[in-house]
Structure 1
């Protein structure tokens, strides 16, 4: 049956004119070409669309590196920088691919406002969110951290700073020769007792605190940072106006000297105002010689002269009464030429606001805990000294 149908179809095709058969073949060829051209056009449309997308996607999706990053990049974040500022810094150093990628990451992280100023160890070509996480990680910060305890001399402070920063002590000594250039107000170097103040003496201005110093800072920049902190702390304490208003002609520099002595003599914060009052009483009160009679000032001179500091019981008469020692307070009246160390907050408060109605001229530590006893007369002082000896203080 099927064979008969095939034969019929073949006869019909042979019966058609040749031109008609040719038109049929041509129409089939054109259909194939049209189909091929449709495929080409579709490919162009798809390819063009992808090309256009690739060109405009940057307007909608911020460029970002895949991470995790490669070579180390040392980046400085400055105080007050916004997320955009930080992103710009990171882009310049090729840490992130775009500012938008970083700011987008910052918007998605509530802790992004906690980025601290300082130097950071990051990597080139980091994913923006990873860079942000690193900036929030304390371990990424690159700082020289150093703690300056209360009462250190400038020489001891330079040693501490040198150990932390690897900057030679000599560099700090050289930079310290001009405290005014480092930020100390020249007005500090005034005294109301007729004695001169040495404008090259940095002692007293190296405020005790813990500092995070830039690893790129030199000696001058380090000292400027510390003195800047001194200025800020003095302003918070209102040290200058308080002293000028309430100390009857005593200058802030004189009060700074008193604070440094109180820091050296008293172990407990509660004694700082009392010791300060005794110093003022002896120097400017009705004490006969107006001399302080302190071993701490003598030892200060030994220290800065390159000599060995001695316990009070081992100081000789020649040590105590050396006429060439400007810090000899056993024979020379009034306050010494300058501070004998760098006082902390408690000592500064004691010097600016000494205990009122405290008519004593002597003080002494009477036990190993630093308990202080005060006396009005030499006889009182002798009795307190005996108490100290009985408590194991080596004075007798």
Structure 2
């Protein structure tokens, strides 16, 4: 019995050994096959040498992408010779996990190691489009001050700085697309289609529908493709926050919520968003005109804090001195903070507010008489002096 068990054990051991050898041979054969290119050369030989041949390629690293997904594209674009070489180089580079989403300028025929290092070099990354809260579509010329670039100019700069001369998109082309393209095709949300369509031919009709944020812009895209991408992504972002329900909770439509929040962006100093929101709602409830100077300035070629009697009398789709209710469109891109402030206004009976000094001190009042006293303080400080 003992002898029989030993015999079977030896037989089993031999079987395990043979199986192990077969697995090892198979693995070696597989590795050898995997590391051999289609022309029979090894992966080491298949990798390019050097930092490229001078032929530029724009490569995108999408958000949430991985090296395993990026490698085949680099091989297809002839940036690296093989995906396998790129994966090995990425695996061996300690910083490869820090490659950021975006578009990069690389070259064709780079060694895999050079490609990884180029993706880690910020100098090769194409600029992002960075839209702050309160940005407007068009440039704003401040009397006696600087010109604040609008979103159309920001987009133009990104395409002109990052692309070829042929890819540079002018502000005029972007304005024309924004004014005349089919709003639905541009990605305008259903709850804003009617209002945007009513402003056909106006480059400002997309105001507020490109949300603040940092965007990757493909410099090879057309004006229509870029605007469609920005508006569509913003629509998705707005809808994902439940904007329809949020607006309904304060008896506004989603579009009206954007309009009101844009007023906060242009009127309120930091820390006072909720108070200005309360003034807006109180005045709409009265009802009484909003009389915001920012809505007067919106249609002017140059702006300043002080507005003239003549400007306040001009009838435009935005001037809330010459009309009741909210402006026809937003007057800026509202941040999430401004939208949240409209949903959660401060408690108060305020109907008036005015900034009284250059430090941005803003005073809120319930009565017109108190407001006049504070306007006088603002005039005494010089904050309301015109530079025109």
TM-score range, shorter chain: 0.7 to 0.9
Tell me which residue corresponds to 2:223: 219
Residues 104, 159 of structure 1: CA spacing in aligned structure 2 closer, same or farther, 3 A cutoff?
closer
Q: Distance in 1 between matches of 2:34 and 2:129?
A: 51
Asked whether the 8 Å contact 1:73–1:93 carries over to 2, the reply is no
Residue aligned with 1:176, SS: helix
Secondary structure at 1:328's aligned position in 2?
coil
Query: What corresponds to 1:252 in structure 2?
Result: 254
Is the radius of gyration larger for structure 1 or structure 2?
A: 1
Is residue 2:76 matched to residue 1:92?
A: yes
Distance 1:381 1:189, change over 3 A: farther
Q: Helix, strand or coil for the counterpart of 2:329?
A: coil
| Mapping of residues 290-369 of structure 1, within 5 Å | 290-303=288-301, 308-309=302-303, 311-313=305-307, 315-316=308-309, 318-322=310-314, 324-355=315-346, 357-369=347-359
Moved more, 115-124 or 126-135: 115-124
Change (3 A) 1:359 1:234: same
- So what's the TM-score if we normalise by structure 1? 0.72
**Aligned-pair CA distance for 1:380:** 1.4
The 3 A distance-change label for structure 1 pair 253 and 64 is same
CA distance, structure 2, for counterparts of residue 349 and residue 121 of structure 1: 39
Q: Which residue of 2 aligns with 1:377?
A: 367
| Structure 1 residue 345 displacement after superposition | 2.9
Unaligned runs of 5+ in 1: 1-53
Residue 379 of structure 2 corresponds to: 389
Specify whether residues 310 and 99 from structure 1 end up closer, same or farther in structure 2 by C-alpha distance, changes over 3 A only.
closer
- In structure 1, the partner of 2:272 is 271
Which residue is 2:36 aligned to?
58
- Alignment pair present for 1:188 and 2:192: yes
Deviation at 1:325, TM superposition (A): 2.5
Q: Residue by residue, what CA displacement relative to the aligned partner does 1:297-330 show, whole Å, maximum 9, x if unpaired? A: 1221234xxxx435425x13x32223x4233322
CA deviations on 1:37-72 (whole Å, 9 max, x unpaired) are xxxxxxxxxxxxxxxxx9998389523223343232
Aligned residue for 2:158? 164
| 2:191/2:254 contact within 8 Å kept | no
Q: CA offset at residue 258 of structure 1?
A: 0.9
Alignment-derived partner of residue 212 in structure 2: 208
Number of equivalences: 324
Pair 1:276–1:173, CA change in 2 (3 A): same
Give CA-to-partner distance per residue, 1:311-354, whole Å, 9 cap, x none. 425x13x32223x4233322422112121222223222222322
Q: Is the 8 A contact 1:291 1:333 kept in 2?
A: yes
Give 3-state SS (helix, strand or coil) of 2:56's partner. strand
1:148 aligned partner: 131
- CA distance 1:170–1:361, change in 2 (3 Å): same
Gap runs ≥5 in structure 2: 1-31, 140-149, 161-168
Measure how far apart 1:97 and its partner are.
Answer: 2.3
Q: Relative to 1, partners in 2 of residues 1:160 and 1:68: Cα closer, same or farther, differing over 3 Å?
A: closer
Scaled by the length of structure 2, the TM-score of the pair is 0.74
Flag the 1:295–1:57 CA change in 2: closer, same or farther, 3 A: closer
How many Å separate the matches in 1 of 2:298 and 2:290?
A: 14
Q: Distance in 1 between matches of 2:351 and 2:305?
A: 22
SS of structure 1 residue aligned to 2:281:
helix
